[in-house]
Amino acid sequence: QVQLVESGGGLVQAGGSLRLSCAASGSTVSINAMGWYRQVPGKHRESVAAISSGGTTNYGDSVKGRFTISRDNAKNTVYLQMNSLKPEDTAVYYCVAIMDVDFPEYDVWGQGTQVTVSS
């Protein structure tokens, strides 16, 4: 069983930076990949970034070059460093642990953390 605890959300001015953290506990060796999604009310959840167990990363086009996903295996924690933030980055950000890419019903989701970028 895996549980995710997110932190680091908050309010920041446009152009500023913020770092989100996602600490995993439980059966962490069963996690194949971790990532971040975001969602604005009325819109579908959008993939932001992902990192595999081997360290391969992927980014959504809207954040490429501004956001960086990383992991600290010793702490079982994944980070999302967000730089050059824009008001359109405002959303609820969710951490996800992907247990099996073929069975998304087994994905584990965090509770979400609000990121608000003011203009």
pLDDT confidence of residue 111: 96
pLDDT confidence of residue 34: 96
pLDDT confidence of residue 74: 86
Backbone φ and ψ for 86, nearest 5 degrees, come out as -120, 155
pLDDT confidence of residue 56: 95
pLDDT confidence of residue 84: 98
Beta strands in 27-102 (DSSP E): 33-39, 46-52, 57-59, 67-72, 77-82, 91-98
Q: Cα dihedral sign for 62, 67, 71, 77? A: negative
Residue numbers in the chain where pLDDT is lower than 70:
none
pLDDT confidence of residue 18: 98
pLDDT confidence of residue 50: 97
